[in-house]
Structure 1
Amino acid sequence: MQRITISLDDALLDFIDRFGEGRGYSSRSEAIRDILRETAAREEMQADASAPCVAALSYVYEHETRDLARRLTTAQHDHHDLTVATLHVHLDHAECLEVAVLKGPVAAVREFGDSMVTQRGVRLGHLHLVPVEGHAHPPHKPHK
């Protein structure tokens, strides 16, 4: 491991200290290493759309929106090769939270995630991508 020296303005140093304390890091170095690892992983996935990844897709939706629950379920069935598992939670009488674990090429996972969270009646959608090491699978071919 190499030691480096960096210069930071007060605002960035305050952020790193708050971030580190909030997450329970034992040192600034550990906090900065994790920030850099996350940024590096995100950049690598941007560079290679065929790279394998796993992802957590979460979204809140209004279950009374016309045909929305059916459309979301159909989309997951149509992409069964990407969908590993789904958790469905009833938040109240009107809204549901779903969390889908996905696995596949970055581009296919992103495209599927975008198609889910842009449905009318879906809100607060978020896709968290995580790169994985290992062999790549053939490119995703959506069902017709």
Structure 2
Amino acid sequence: MELSTPAPTTKGPSRWFTGDVWFDVVAAPPAPSRLRVNLVRFAPGARTFWHSHAVGQSLRVTQGVARVGTRDGSVVEVRPGQTLWCPPDEAHWHGAGPDGFMEHLAMWETTDARDGSETTWAEEVSDEEAHR
């Protein structure tokens, strides 16, 4: 067994997020595990940029209401206790609605390369796309 030492809370970088976002690494065990879990907190209106994950991503909302959008224009609201699965390579974004904070667990796996290439980041989500 191996007990991890908590890393400090990190501010989400502006190259991946619009608005104020903070995250804590919950799980990033050594190989051969590929599991990654972050607790992510979004201020009202904050959101990710468009992105996709090579082997998919699960989002478990713990507080507030998440909004998750896809390239076809669909936006789904996810409430505390609900988990949403984003399939492999599906471009999506997620964040808080305009009126409240939101917190979720983001869960995904690395690829065999283990170099961060499991997530492909794209452009910023426009206000129009986020407020559909």
Taking structure 2 as the reference length, the TM-score comes to 0.33
When you count strand as a share of all residues, which structure comes out higher? 2
Structure of larger gyration radius: 1
